[in-house]
Structure 1
């Protein structure tokens, strides 16, 4: 069987690019393209699995540095959160509040205390009926 020459031309339909490359090259293809105008064209053939196979073939871990950066960022955010909670518990942040803010805060605390009391009463009533 003789091979025929094929004409190489630009693939105009962006959704067909990956499929045609897959067929022509007999390969798995995942494409992320940016046009000259900056428009993103992404044709995925299960991209995560594609990159997992890529890193296994090369014997490298392309996700590790990204994971480490996220862990470091999480550690910093937890420290900021811990400091903010400590500051709030000590009441230092109340020094900057005006009269109206303090009134609204007190009102919110009263509502929260009321909810706590109602929940406590419901539990007491429930426990007295459950054990009799």
Structure 2
């Protein structure tokens, strides 16, 4: 019992259409490869799915470029001529733009190539140079102002740190005058701790010998 004849029309279901495309594409590529091997033919196949995905088969004995060249030679026309002409036009426009910019640089920076300019052109050139000078001057002032503000912030920060260090130094100096050295030869000790730039006395003892050993005496400050 043979299969029923399939009606040749667009498959509406997306999934079925993609599956059919994949199977038949592989079948065509297989037939092309067999034709290339059995008959020593040069075969080139190019496919694009409805989603724009590209697939290609080319005989192992040739390349895509060689196939294009053979196609052009057989038909007697050049596929690249129109594209080459567009590239030449684009290159010409870029060269003209480059020459114009180079001329403007010579006129504005070096004062050269001014022979072909009339009074009106020279006036326009002078105004353009004045506008450019204004832009450069504004940019320069902006950079100087930014650097000056940064330096002022650094100086203010250093002054603040210097003031905090001076305050800590004065506090330590007053404590040394009042309680003496932190550790001396007679065993007097005072513990000084600092928190957020403020000095605090946490302990101050004098060890005095008695009959059974050493007994702490003196003020205990917290």
Deviates more, 1:93-102 or 1:66-75: 93-102
In 2, distance between residues paired with 1:55 and 1:98? 57
Task: Name the structure where helix makes up a greater proportion of residues.
Answer: 1
Task: Please state which structure has a larger fraction of its residues in strand.
Answer: 2
1:70 deviates by 0.9
DSSP-derived class of the 1:86 partner: helix
Which secondary structure does the structure 1 equivalent of 2:52 belong to?
coil
Q: Which has the higher contact order (CA 8 A, sep 6+)?
A: 1
How many residue pairs end up in the alignment? 92
After superposition, residues 70-81 of structure 1 pair within 5 angstroms as: 70-81=87-98
Equivalent of 2:137 in 88, 95, 99: 99
Match of 1:127 in 2: none
Task: Provide the residue aligned with 1:83 in structure 2.
Answer: 100
What CA distance in whole angstroms lies between the structure 2 residues aligned with 1:71 and 1:102? 42
RMSD, aligned α-carbons: 3.1
1:32-47 map, 5 Å: 32-44=46-58, 45-47=62-64
Q: Could you say if the C-alpha distance between residues 43 and 88 of structure 1 is closer, same or farther in structure 2, counting changes exceeding 3 Å?
A: farther
- Once the 2 structures are TM-superposed, how far is the Cα of residue 30 of structure 1 from its aligned partner? 2.5
Equivalent position of 1:23 in the other structure: 34
Taking structure 1 as the reference length, the TM-score comes to 0.54
**Segment drifting more, 69-78 vs 37-46:** 37-46
Mark the structure with the bigger radius of gyration: 2
Structure 1: runs of 5 or more not aligned = 1-8, 104-132
- Cα distance, 1:12–1:101 mapped onto 2, change above 3 Å: farther
